[in-house]
C-alpha cells in the first residue's frame, strides 16, 4: 500500500474504533462480557452474545489499527525525507502503544473512570498525530496547487484565523474529554432528561449533588461555547476565500466542518431529549469526533501554508502572549501535578482538584513569562529563541511584565486561600527558585542544572499537598523521580544546543566538559532514575505490577543511555544520540507516571 493509503486507512479505522466506545461503556458499572485480555473465550458470549461480539470486533479493529500504525512508522522510516512526517509517525506509534496498554488495563480493572477517561484523551491525541501524518504526506499536493499564487496567498494568510481555528479545535477537544468524564461519573443524568431538562436542572442542591450539578452545567456551558466559537470561526474563514484556487481548496472542508459542528450540537440536545439513549449517545460522539477532525484538518492545512511559502507574518498578539507562557512546559507541569492529585490518599472535590491544577498551571505560566522578560537579552543571542516576541521586538516588555505579575499575584494567594497554605508556599518557593536562583545562576555556573531541577520537581508534590495538606513519603518520592529525571534530560538538551548556549553566555556542562564526562553522567543519572523509579514500592501503595513496569521502562531507557559508549568520535554522532535520548526521556516520564496511576 502507498503511504497515503496507509495513513487514510488507519485514520478511518481509528475513527470507527472511537465511535464504538459508547457501545461498550454506555452504562457506568456494567461489567464487560469479555473479562480477559486480549482474547475473549466463547463461554463469555453466552449471556449477551451481541455485546460480546461488539467487544471482540472492537479489539480486532484495535489490533488492525496497531499493525497499520506500525506499517506507517516503518514506511516513513525508510523514506527519511521529511523530519516532520517522521516525528508525527513516531508519536502515532507511541500513542497507539499507550492506547493498547490502556485498553488492556480498562479490561483488567473493569472500566475504572480514570483509565477510561485517559483512554479517550490519548485516543484523540493519537488521531491528531495520524491526521498530521496524512497532512504531511499530502503537503506537496497542496504546495503544487497553490504555488502559482504564492504572492496572493502571502497577502491572504492571516495569523488570527490560524489562532481562531486552533482555539475552536481546542474547545471541541475539551468538550469531548469532559463529555467522557461526565458520562463516567454519572453526572450526565443529574439534571434529569427530557425536553424540560434542556433549560432547567430540577435536582435539589445539596452537598451530595452540588459538584455533579456544577460539572454538568459546566459541560453545557463549554459545549455551547465551543459550538458558537467554532461556527463563528468557520463563517469568518469562509468569507476570506476570495481566490478561486483557495475556494476550491478550502470551501468544501469548511462547509463539512460547519455541518458536523452544527450536528454535534443538535445531537447533544438529542441526547437529553431522548433520555440519554444509546443511539443518541453514539451519534453525539460520532459528530463530536468528526467536527474535531474537520477543525484540525483546516487548522493543519492553514498552518501548513506558513511552512510551504515561508510566510513572515506568522505571529499574532495571541500567539505572542501564549508563547511567553511556554505552553509545552506548562502542560508538562500540569500533567505531573495531576499525577500527584490522583495518587494522593484521601479525596478532593472535583471542582477543587480542577481549580488546584489550573492555579498551579497559572503559577508556572507566570514564572515562564517573567523569565522571558528577565532573559530578553539572552534570548536575542540564541538562534532558537531570537524570534520570540520580546527579543524580536513584537511585544512591549511592560506588557509581558504586567501579564506575568498578574498571573503570579493571582494564582499564589488563591492557592493559599482556597486550596491550602502548604500548596501555596510550595508554588511560591518554585517560582522564587526558578526566577531568582536558577535564572541568574545559568550565567555563572553549570551547577544551575541542579538548582533548576528543584522547581521542576515540585509540581507533583503540589498536586499531592492539594489533596492531603501535608508532605508524606510518597510526595518526596514523586519529587525525587522528577528531580533525577531532569538531570540527564537537560544534559542531553545542552549537548545538541551547546553552540547556542555558548553564544548566550549560559554555563552548561556540554561547554565545560568533554563528551566522555557527559556520556558517563547521563548513564549514571539514568541508572539513578531506575533506582528512584522503584521507590514507590517502598513508600507508596504500588505493588509488583508497577515494579515490573517501572523496571522494564527504566531498563530500556538505561539501554538508550548506554548507546553513548558505542559512538564514534564525530560530534554529529554525539548530537544525534543526545537528541534521541532527549526524545526518549519525553516518552519515559509519562510511561512511568501513567504506570503509577493505572497500576496502583
Residue 147 has pLDDT above 60, yes or no: yes
Q: What is the pLDDT of residue 551?
A: 92
Residue 114 has pLDDT above 70, yes or no: no
Nearest-CA neighbor of 580 among 567, 593, 598?
567
Q: C-alpha grid cell for residue 228? A: 458558537
* Band of pLDDT at residue 57, cut at 50, 70 and 90: confident
Q: Is 195 exposed, middle or buried (0-12, 13-18, 19+ CB in 10 A)?
A: exposed
User: What is the pLDDT averaged over residues 115-131?
Assistant: 84
Q: What is the pLDDT of residue 53?
A: 72
Residue 539 has pLDDT above 90, yes or no: no
Domains delineated in the chain: 1-136 (no CATH), 157-313 (no CATH), 315-441 (1.10.357), 472-600 (1.20.120)
Looking at per-residue confidence, does 245 or 486 come out higher? 486
Number of residues assigned to the chain: 600
pTM of the complete model beyond 0.85:
no
* Band of pLDDT at residue 513, cut at 50, 70 and 90: confident
Contact 343, 600 (CB under 8 A): yes
* Band of pLDDT at residue 51, cut at 50, 70 and 90: low
Separation CA 344–CA 461 (nearest Å): 10
Q: C-alpha grid cell for residue 483? A: 528531580
Separation CA 229–CA 96 (nearest Å): 31
Residue 254 has pLDDT above 70, yes or no: yes
Q: What is the pLDDT of residue 31?
A: 58
What's phi and psi for 180, nearest 5 deg? Answer: -65, -40
Per DSSP, 41 falls in state: -
Q: Which helix (H) or strand (E) holds 384?
A: none
User: What is the pLDDT averaged over residues 211-224?
Assistant: 85
* Band of pLDDT at residue 151, cut at 50, 70 and 90: low
- The total of other beta-carbon atoms located within 10 Å of residue 571's CB is 11
Between 99-108, 156-165, 455-464, the lowest mean confidence (pLDDT) is in 99-108
DSSP string, 444-504: T-TTHHHHHHHHHHHHHHHHHHHHHSS--HHHHHHHHHHHHHHHHHHHHHHHHTHHHHHHH
Residue 38 has pLDDT above 70, yes or no: no
User: What is the pLDDT averaged over residues 496-502?
Assistant: 82
* Band of pLDDT at residue 423, cut at 50, 70 and 90: very high
Contact 288, 175 (CB under 8 A): yes
User: What is the pLDDT averaged over residues 431-457?
Assistant: 91
* Band of pLDDT at residue 175, cut at 50, 70 and 90: very high
Amino acid at each position: 500500500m502507498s503511504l497515503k493509503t496507509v495513513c487514510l486507512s488507519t485514520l478511518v479505522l481509528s475513527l470507527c474504533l472511537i465511535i464504538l466506545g459508547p457501545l461498550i461503556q454506555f452504562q457506568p458499572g456494567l461489567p464487560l462480557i469479555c473479562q480477559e485480555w486480549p482474547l475473549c473465550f466463547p463461554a463469555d458470549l453466552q449471556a449477551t452474545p451481541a455485546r460480546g461480539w461488539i467487544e471482540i470486533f472492537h479489539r480486532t479493529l484495535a489490533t488492525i489499527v496497531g499493525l497499520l500504525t506500525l506499517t506507517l512508522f516503518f514506511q516513513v522510516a525508510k523514506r527519511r525525507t521529511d523530519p516532520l512526517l517522521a516525528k508525527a509517525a513516531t508519536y502515532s506509534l507511541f500513542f497507539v502503544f499507550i492506547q493498547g496498554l490502556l485498553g488492556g488495563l480498562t479490561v483488567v480493572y473493569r472500566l475504572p473512570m480514570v483509565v477510561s477517561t485517559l483512554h479517550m484523551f490519548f485516543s484523540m491525541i493519537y488521531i491528531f498525530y495520524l491526521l498530521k501524518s496524512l497532512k504531511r504526506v499530502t503537503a506537496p499536493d497542496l504546495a503544487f496547487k497553490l504555488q502559482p499564487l504564492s504572492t496572493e496567498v502571502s497577502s491572504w494568510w492571516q495569523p488570527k484565523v490560524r489562532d481562531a481555528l486552533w482555539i475552536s479545535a481546542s474547545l471541541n477537544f475539551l468538550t469531548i474529554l469532559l463529555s467522557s468524564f461526565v458520562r463516567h461519573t454519572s453526572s450526565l443524568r443529574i439534571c434529569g432528561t427530557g425536553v424540560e431538562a434542556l433549560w432547567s436542572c430540577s435536582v435539589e442542591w445539596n452537598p451530595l449533588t452540588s459538584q455533579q450539578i456544577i460539572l454538568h452545567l459546566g459541560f453545557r456551558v463549554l459545549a455551547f461555547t465551543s459550538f458558537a466559537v467554532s461556527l463563528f470561526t468557520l463563517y469568518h474563514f469562509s468569507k476570506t476565500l476570495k481566490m478561486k484556487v483557495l475556494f476550491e481548496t478550502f470551501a468544501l472542508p469548511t462547509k463539512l466542518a460547519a455541518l458536523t459542528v452544527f450536528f454535534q450540537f443538535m445531537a447533544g440536545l438529542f441526547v437529553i431529549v431522548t433520555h440519554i439513549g444509546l443511539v443518541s449517545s453514539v451519534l453525539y460522539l460520532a459528530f463530536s469526533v468528526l467536527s474535531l477532525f474537520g477543525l484540525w484538518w483546516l487548522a493543519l492545512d492553514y498552518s501548513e501554508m506558513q511552512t510551504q511559502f515561508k510566510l513572515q507574518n506568522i505571529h499574532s498578539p495571541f500567539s505572542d502572549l501564549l508563547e511567553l507562557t511556554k505552553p509545552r512546559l506548562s502542560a508538562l507541569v500540569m500533567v505531573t501535578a495531576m499525577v500527584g492529585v490522583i495518587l494522593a490518599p484521601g479525596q478532593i472535590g472535583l471542582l477543587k482538584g480542577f481549580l488546584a491544577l489550573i492555579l498551579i498551571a497559572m503559577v508556572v505560566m507566570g514564572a515562564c513569562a517573567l523569565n522571558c522578560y528577565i532573559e530578553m537579552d539572552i534570548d536575542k543571542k540564541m538562534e532558537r529563541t531570537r524570534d520570540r516576541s520580546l527579543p524580536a521586538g513584537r511585544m512591549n516588555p511592560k506588557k509581558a511584565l504586567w501579564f506575568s505579575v498578574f498571573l503570579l499575584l493571582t494564582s499564589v494567594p488563591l492557592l493559599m486561600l482556597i486550596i491550602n497554605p502548604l500548596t501555596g508556599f510550595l508554588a511560591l518557593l518554585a517560582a522564587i527558585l526558578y526566577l531568582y536562583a536558577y535564572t541568574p545562576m545559568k550565567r555563572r555556573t553549570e551547577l544551575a542544572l541542579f538548582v533548576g531541577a528543584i522547581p521542576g520537581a515540585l509540581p507533583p508534590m503540589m498536586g499531592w499537598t492539594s489533596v492531603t495538606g501535608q508532605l508524606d513519603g510518597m510526595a518526596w518520592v514523586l519529587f525525587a523521580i522528577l528531580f533525577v529525571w531532569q538531570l540527564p534530560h537537560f544534559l542531553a538538551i545542552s549537548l545538541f544546543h551547546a553552540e547556542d548556549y555558548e553564544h548566550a553566555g549560559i554555563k552548561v556542562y556540554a561547554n565545560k566538559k568533554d563528551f566522555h564526562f557527559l556520556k558517563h553522567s547521563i548513564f549514571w543519572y539514568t541508572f539513578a532514575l531506575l533506582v528512584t523509579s522503584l521507590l514507590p514500592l517502598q513508600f507508596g501503595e504500588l505493588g509488583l505490577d508497577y515494579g515490573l513496569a517501572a523496571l522494564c521502562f527504566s531498563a530500556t531507557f538505561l539501554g538508550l543511555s548506554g548507546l553513548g559508549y558505542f559512538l564514534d568520535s564525530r560530534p554529529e554522532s554525539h548530537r544525534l544520540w543526545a537528541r534521541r535520548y532527549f526524545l526518549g526521556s519525553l516518552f519515559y516520564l509519562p510511561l512511568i507516571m501513567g504506570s503509577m496511576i493505572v497500576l496502583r
